[in-house]
Copies of this chain bind each other. A is one copy, B any other.
Amino acid sequence: LIFSGKKQVSAYLCYMDTDWSGLHARIGLLGGGQLGRMIIQKAIDWDLDIHVLDPDSQAPCFDLCAHFTVGSLNDFHTVLAFGEDKDILTVEMENVNIEALEELEKKGVRIYPQPRVLKTIRDKGLQKEFYRLHGIPTAPFKLFNSIDVQDIAQHLPCVQKLRTGGYDGKGVQILRTEADLERAFSEPSVVEEWIPFEKEISVIVSRNVKGENSVYPAVECEFNPEANLVEFLFSPAEIKPEIEKKAQDIALGIIDDLQMVGLLAVEFFLTKDQELLVNEIAPRPHNSGHHTIECNATSQFEQFLRAILNLPFGDTRTTHTGAMINLLGAEGQEGDVQYVGLENLLSVDGVYPHIYGKRKTKPYRKMGHITLTADSLNELKSKAEKIKNMISVQGKTN
């Protein structure tokens, strides 16, 4: 465990120069996917100097950054070499070589979010231990190093999550009956109580080097049960103000407990008896904040930049009622991507497609998203269904 109490955590921070501002910094970004792309799209406004490292020269960031290095995010020497001449290093994914980041941190490179935060969050076991240590409400859980069918059987129905390496809905499964145990993961995992929740909500918080923080209004997520991915998001969430306040306080508490610099998405289950349980956290801009580009005074991408550059935070207020639909690769479709219906979509008012520029599609791959605005949540809900059926992400094999 990285954390064994609050006092120890603070010790990591004593060297920090809180007056520093990173507007003129040389910024290294690990990962060149869609999150990086939307970060860069915002960074253009401030003419920031962003350098990207990604293994794929066809990554979504490639065409729109001045400095792109092709290389592995998991290789110690590659990450070290990439980071050495940067003032700040940041990530758009957790799955990077953290040992190299720790080495760079020692050399004086600012790593935001900090390597110790990435270490805690990317291992779902450590994440759960952290909640337990800090009294953060979460579903009861048990850690497994390998499969122990007899033990797991006592906890059915349960959710099994790989401790590391899962992403975009992969590495997570519900085990309902003893028959399901046949497909239980044998790698180190977290097994947690299955929560029959009423809603899933998400709150995004951020914190800069000075320790100032900021929180967004809560949003509501509807998952696609097959892909285990957010299918629709609605903002604001239809929950009682006191529930929203409580979720915001928990989220702010987590980023403060982590003493993290950066942006943190906190996903909650809201149970039928109105209890909030933290499901997962992500230390970066998040799918549940994409609507903020059009629907809030400050987007999550701008707020993320403000956090890591140690700038004051922008206004998080909701300016438009909005929905977000993920554009996932259609089932059974693979190859060169085609967005069938995109032109028709553009004839509807308040529709903002974001195409990530990935060349190849495959089933359930995140290829883009669409933000919708309308005057009311009711209007949005029917609009979202209609829009979703107007577009399909298809593939063409050559």
A residues near B (Cβ < 8 Å) are: 21, 23, 37, 40-41, 44-47, 62-66, 297, 306, 311-312, 314-315, 319-320, 342-343, 346-347, 349-350, 352-357, 373
- Please give the distance in Å from A299's CB to the nearest CB on chain B: 11
Q: So how many copies of this chain end up in the complex?
A: 2
Most buried by B among A44, A63, A352, A356: A44
Determine whether the beta carbon of B342 is less than 8 Å from that of A23.
Answer: yes
CA distance A69 to B23 in the complex (A): 29
Which residue of B64, B312, B319 contacts A44 across the interface (Cβ within 8 Å)?
A: B64
Determine whether the beta carbon of A349 is less than 8 Å from that of B63.
Answer: no
Q: Given A320-B319, A350-B315: A355 and B21 within 8 A (CB)?
A: no
Across the interface, which residues of B come within 8 angstroms of A312, CB to CB? 346-347
Determine whether the beta carbon of B297 is less than 8 Å from that of A47.
Answer: no
CA distance A315 to B357 in the complex (A): 25
Across the interface, which residues of B come within 8 angstroms of A63, CB to CB? 65-66
Q: Given A37-B44, A297-B373, A354-B45: A343 and B311 within 8 A (CB)?
A: yes
Across the interface, which residues of B come within 8 angstroms of A349, CB to CB? 297, 314-315
Given A47-B357, A297-B349, 15 other A-B residues pairs in contact with their CB atoms under 8 A: A41-B45, A44-B64, A44-B357, A45-B354, A45-B355, A46-B353, A46-B355, A63-B65, A64-B64, A297-B373, A306-B346, A311-B343, A311-B346, A312-B346, A314-B349
- Please give the distance in Å from A300's CB to the nearest CB on chain B: 15
